[in-house]
Amino acid sequence: MFLNREEEAIFSGNKGEMLAKLMKLIVKLGESFGAEKLIDITSAHTVLNFGLNFVNAAAQVIHEIREANLKVKVRTTADPIIDMDYKDELSMVYPMFTLHDQLIDDLLHVGIHGFTCTPYFLDNRPNFGEHCAWSESSAVIYLNSVIGARSNREGGLVDIACGILGKTSYHGLHLTENRKGDLLFRLSDDVDKHDLFNLTSMGLIIGEIAGNKIPVIEGLEHASNDEIKNLGAASASTGAVALIHVIGKTPEAKNVEVAFQNDKPEDVIEITMDDINEVREKYSTEWSLPPKNLSIGCPHLSRDEVLIVLEKLKGKKIAPGINFWICTNKEIKDEIVNSEYNEILKDSGAHLTHFCPLLTALPRPLITNSAKTCFYSNATYKNIDECIQIAERGTNND
Ligand code: F3S
């Protein structure tokens, strides 16, 4: 790989041993993908945040980065951390987070702050066309598909190395020619395209079929960015998808021709209601026991999405013994808790939190509207209205 004089000096260790290690990490990785040079980035995001016991090796490296007094050069955020406001509800879970305090302290010292998987709702929202180094698959797919900035799915630690160096290797989705659509997807007429649950389920199917190819979706011009966020998170779970062109929404896909860069799709796939029902069943785990936890907000909800859930909860009460979690970033949480909407939370008994409902290892049975949570764990997959009805009843049965 070509390195300029400054990069070469870092690589050779002239700027310190730890910086050289981080440079070697991104250079060697880049070379394995055929990258010929590094490029400057404007933003980074890391998945390495969770102080669970099993991330001790990564936590040790982050501690060494701190000890070397290195700081990130570009705005860098991290995935959600545990929420210490719920010590009673999560008393069984907290003991697993032995590394939490040290890890967060180290990340803050390195200059990483803002703990959410939707950093684009905070101030880590790059501009169209900017090069970034993000991990967290749901965030990467939003970055590429909704914002039109450019990032590959970076790995944990590589993302931090990129943030510190302000660079990543130039390959994959950083190159325009690699952002060309491969497969064209449509929903058949029997599917309600305005139903969020259908769109999220469609995401599961797209990821399964696309693998690491680039899907293009026709017929969702009406979809909101939040809906694309949820669809994209599902696709990035079942597949290695990092970019979806939603015609009429994705900045680089104003029409089908542009999305395919004037080439033809390899295949055209129509998704029917039968396909959607099948995938829901496939990824939903049914429990005979009554639920202990229900969660909405994986990926973290936008402010608008939180308000939609609160509106649905108005006048309702969560049954005793059940935790109903609404997950968003800490800034939105604080704002809502200090507003008139807090009455709805108090009256209903629902909890607004900034944790990740998947990694918090909530006791089972867990019911959620998140396709991603259901793909990665043994949760039951329901839409938001069903989740609220079950939480009110306290049982799965009608
Ligand atoms: Fe976010 Fe956790 Fe889901 S990081 S996307 S809430 S698995």
Do 70 and 197 fall within a single domain?
A: no
Whether the CB-CB separation of 117 and 300 falls below 8 Å is answered with: yes
Domain termination residue (choose one: 160, 176, 192): 176
Q: Report the C-alpha gap between 245 and 87 in whole angstroms.
A: 42
**Which domain range does residue 361 map to?**
284-393
Do 26 and 129 fall within a single domain?
A: yes
Q: Report the C-alpha gap between 346 and 7 in whole angstroms.
A: 54
The reply to whether ligand 1 has any atom less than 6 angstroms from the CB of 117 is: yes
Q: Report the C-alpha gap between 208 and 144 in whole angstroms.
A: 19
Residue 154 lies in a domain: yes
Do 9 and 124 fall within a single domain?
A: yes
Q: Any idea what the Cα angle at residue 224 is, between residues 219 and 229, rounded to 5°?
A: 100
For ligand 1, mutation pick of 138, 159, 226 (most atoms within 8 Å of CB): 138
* Rg of the Cα atoms in the chain: 21
Whether the CB-CB separation of 139 and 120 falls below 8 Å is answered with: yes
- Between the CA of 387 and the centroid of ligand 1 the distance, in Å, is 18
| pLDDT in single tens digits along all 398 residues of the chain | 999 999 999 999 999 999 999 999 999 999 999 999 999 999 999 998 777 777 788 899 999 999 999 999 999 999 999 999 998 999 888 888 888 899 999 999 999 999 999 999 999 999 999 999 999 999 999 999 999 999 999 999 999 999 999 999 999 999 999 999 999 999 999 999 999 999 999 999 999 999 999 999 999 999 999 999 999 999 999 999 999 999 999 999 999 999 999 999 999 999 999 999 999 999 999 999 999 999 999 999 999 999 999 999 999 999 999 999 999 999 999 999 999 999 999 999 999 999 999 989 899 999 999 999 999 999 999 999 999 999 999 997 76
Query: What is the residue type of 312?
Result: K
Do 254 and 308 fall within a single domain?
A: no
- Between the CA of 328 and the centroid of ligand 1 the distance, in Å, is 10
105-121 as b/e: b if 16+ CB within 10 A: ebbebbebebbbbbbbb
SS3 245: strand
β-strand pairing of 38-40 with 167-169: antiparallel
**Considering only CA atoms, which residue is closest to atom 2 of ligand 1?**
356
Domain termination residue (choose one: 264, 282, 300): 282
The reply to whether ligand 1 has any atom less than 6 angstroms from the CB of 80 is: yes
In this prediction the pTM is 0.98
Do 83 and 19 fall within a single domain?
A: yes
Do 53 and 97 fall within a single domain?
A: yes
For ligand 1, mutation pick of 83, 118, 121, 359 (most atoms within 8 Å of CB): 359
Do 270 and 360 fall within a single domain?
A: no
Domain termination residue (choose one: 231, 253, 282): 282
Residue 398 lies in a domain: no
The reply to whether ligand 1 has any atom less than 6 angstroms from the CB of 300 is: yes
Residue 37 DSSP code: S
Do 347 and 384 fall within a single domain?
A: yes
